Structure 1
Amino acid sequence: MLMRVSVGIHKDDIDSAIRTYHLMSQRWFTHASPTLFNAGTPRPQLSSCFLICMKDDSIEGIYDTLKECAVISKSAGGIGVSVHNIRATGSYIRGTNGTSNGIVPMLRVFNDTARYVDQGGGKRKGAFAVYLEPWHADIFEFLDLRKNHGKEENRARDLFFALWVPDLFMQRVQNNEDWSLFCPNEAPGLADCWGEKFEELYKKYEKAGKAKKVIPAQTLWFDILKAQIETGTPYMLYKDSCNRKSNQQNLGTIKSSNLCTEIIEFTSPEETAVCNLASIALPRFVREKGVPIESHPSKLAGSNGSKNRYFDFDKLGERLLQLLLSI
């Protein structure tokens, strides 16, 4: 497998392929699962994480997004998808003169897709993380989706859930103030801005009476904590902090992280963010003074208890450079 992966990464660069093979076989680092699954195969999709946003609040947009999730999952990619722009329960649908069923039935379709389109054809389960901002009018139903009790038609237990939290919500919680819930179809643009612009638009909609419901902010906060205690989700990321620290501010507002929340990248209906992963084995860099690193017994790995042991940062830098050249 390691030789297949090395050749799949470097192709006709034989020297680099052999170097990567030896480094992996000596356990200096390993590549991520999609790379191990797919390198050197007819479909060499090597990336781990994909960030997408709902393409449009329409049947076409929803199912185009669902198809993209299925295609990514087929090739062993993990997915983070934001659904802030999907209209809430009871919102008017102009095209059919009806009303929306909200995000729960839609997310059940995504749930079934994650179950059906497993990663790499039976290698592991599909993994989708769904991000929602806490001003969305379906937020309480969203928090219940992974719970172990309740009606099955209101649950989506094979998805992972995350909140994309603006600072304004936490301020309202801290000050025990009210929090307004909106439908993005009736109060558009909240997901597309952050910081002061978000606060201005949010308060503008509050004054205009566009809220679907007004609740104490702490009521929602305690429901979030209850869901975390019962199910382990939603995990929480902070919208304003993520955007404030991003070097992609020129592209637009960042709307989510990925499945494992370790990257923050810009997405749009036309742009999918991608990241490649690998893991380096830090215990391999623990050294005994006077002993060549290749001669270290395995019992030294991970231990810095002896005064004669130290961490070899120079060797770490060397191996990191070699790893980066193979990602």
Structure 2
Amino acid sequence: MFVVKRDGRQITARIARLATGLHDSCDPVLVAQKVAAGVHPGVATRALDELAAETAAALTSAHPDYGRLAARIAVSSLHKDTLASFSQTVALMWRHANPGNGEPAPLVSEQLAEVVREGYAYDYFGFKTLERSYLLRMAGRAVERPQHMLMRVAATPVGIHGPDVPAALETDP
């Protein structure tokens, strides 16, 4: 059994893709069948994602990997609703307005918005220096984008201290 989304893709195929690498006891078809039972006319794909994540989470008593599948479904759904670009996201948050009265209500500081706007305005020389000197490489090729490098550096305290969050917070000024 499978449910076909509006664009013709199967929900079962998506859940199976998200279940890659999980224990065999974690059955994506079972999750899709339970989701199909909750489908009603006009249901939004966002609601299907939520139902699929909740369904997988409810099956964690059968195997803990269902919890990992639920998280993967929820994160995949979040990715559909958010921008891939950090700089575009910061700009969007800076331009946020109060939905009630339209007054500016930025979600980030002007300073952060400016740093991100300027920091991502690399000229060719700046980008090539970044690529050559700072981006991690595998087999001679860069394997990360500038925003990946910035996130990696920001996470350095966690890399040093692992799950010791208080120590990581002390390391990061």
What TM-score comes out, normalization by structure 1 length? 0.19
**RCO greater where, 1 or 2, for CA within 8 Å and sep 6 or more?**
1
**When you count helix as a share of all residues, which structure comes out higher?**
2
**When you count strand as a share of all residues, which structure comes out higher?**
1
Rg bigger for which structure? 1
What TM-score comes out, normalization by structure 2 length? 0.29
